[in-house]
Amino acid sequence: MIENVHFCLTNDGTPILGGIFDSEDEAILTVRNYIALAKLKQNSSTENSEDISLEFIRQSDCRFKLLINFGETIGCMEELANIDELMLKRFKKNLEKSSYFILTSFFEEDEHLTSAIYSRNLGLIIYKF
């Protein structure tokens, strides 16, 4: 489970969501794992298979956790925890507008938060569920 989550938007309003990691290497590895799982899902899909699903679950501290599930064949891919209500509302509002979001990861670089989508063009596009 990823404890620290960051949300931002691209210039055109596409939501970007992901965990915050201590190092660039850890962030890049995490995004590569997302992509590998998505490819595994794509290769194992049949006509009747379900899509990637997202589920927001309220935590005991009134924040939310996001479960990303690739179906029964692969199982739960990731848990992003500690999403506050304002972040959740902004995410859902912008997801409605763009119909997809980018799942990536973030890391500190030169005292600024940087995303793997901008530093390495690594992210997983997930279409509206």
pLDDT in tens, 75-87: 666 889 999 999 9
- The total number of structural domains that make up the chain: 1
Range of the domain at 47: 5-127
Per-residue confidence (pLDDT) for residue 54, from 0 to 100? 86
Residue 13 backbone zone (phi > 0: left; psi -120 to 50: alpha; other: beta): left
The pTM is what? 0.89
Per-residue confidence (pLDDT) for residue 40, from 0 to 100? 81
Per-residue confidence (pLDDT) for residue 76, from 0 to 100? 60
Is the confidence at residue 46, as pLDDT, over 70? no
Cβ neighbours for 99, distance < 8 A, ≥ 6 positions apart: 127, 128
Interatomic CA distance for residues 128 and 3, integer angstroms: 24
Interatomic CA distance for residues 127 and 129, integer angstroms: 6
Is the confidence at residue 4, as pLDDT, over 80? yes
Give percent of the chain with pLDDT exceeding 70. Answer: 89
CB burial string 65-78: b at 16+ within 10 A, e below: bbbbbbbeeeeebb
